[in-house]
Amino acid sequence: DMVILAVGFIPNNILGKESLELFRNGAYKVDLTQKTSLDDVYAIGDCATIYDNSIEDTNYIALATNAVRSGIVAAHNVCGTELESIGVQGSNGISIYGLNMVSTGLTLEKATKLGYDAVATEFADLQKPGFIEHDNDKVFLKIVYDKNTRRVLGAQMASRQDISMGIHMFSLAIQEKVTIDKIKLLDIFFLPHFNQPYNYITMAALGAK
């Protein structure tokens, strides 16, 4: 029998590692078109870097979603159609024994470590109005933002409800440099079957100082 314990990824850079510029972890460093340091040589997927909007710099985020997008961008450029990546936020999620956890961008700890004057606002509430007793669970939300620029840097959500689609809004907010204050009065639709009229997203934003 064998037990294998592994954490993280090691980029496969066997091809061209002697002639291409590499990132600090050995991944091929690429520009927004997925081109490496050599003309006409492109790299995609887990062996290449990606532009991270949350830190506004090149990063390594090995996710299937990033691999697909990088492939689309590279294919267009190889075929003569200029296309640049709009960057990513590192959005991801996991479900463990019915507890759904999703995140995008930076955690408070990571943002602080990177030098941001970061703070976070949190809120927890039922997904739907309290009079709905069936299929109604609490949702926990944490929004990380820069205290000076007010720009949203990251968000994390957890619930036994399927709240996975909610993280997409925060991913777009990071990409477009939306401030926490813009979310305070955000027009979010309401229907008791789905959510509350003023739910955890706007309530968390209103709690931001």
Domain boundaries, the chain: 1-88, 92-206
Confidence (pLDDT) at 6: 87
pLDDT tens-digit readout, 137-182: 999 999 999 999 999 999 999 999 999 999 999 999 999 999 999 9
Number of residues assigned to the chain = 209
Predicted confidence at residue 114, as pLDDT, reads 96
Q: Topology of 92-206 in CATH?
A: Enolase-like; domain 1 (3.30.390)
pLDDT band of residue 15 (cuts 50, 70, 90) is very high
pLDDT of 9 reads 81
Q: Give the pLDDT band (50/70/90) at residue 8.
A: confident
**Left, alpha or beta for 66 (phi > 0: left; psi -120 to 50: alpha)?**
alpha
Per-residue pLDDT at 68: 97
Residues 101-144: tens digit of each pLDDT: 999 999 999 999 999 999 999 999 999 999 998 999 999 999 99
What's the whole-number mean pLDDT along residues 76-87? 96
pLDDT above 90 covers a percentage of the chain that reads: 95
Confidence band for 7, pLDDT divided at 50, 70 and 90: confident
- Give the per-residue pLDDT at 204: 97
Q: CATH number of 1-88: 3.40.50.620, 3.40.50.300, 3.40.140.80, 3.50.50.60?
A: 3.50.50.60
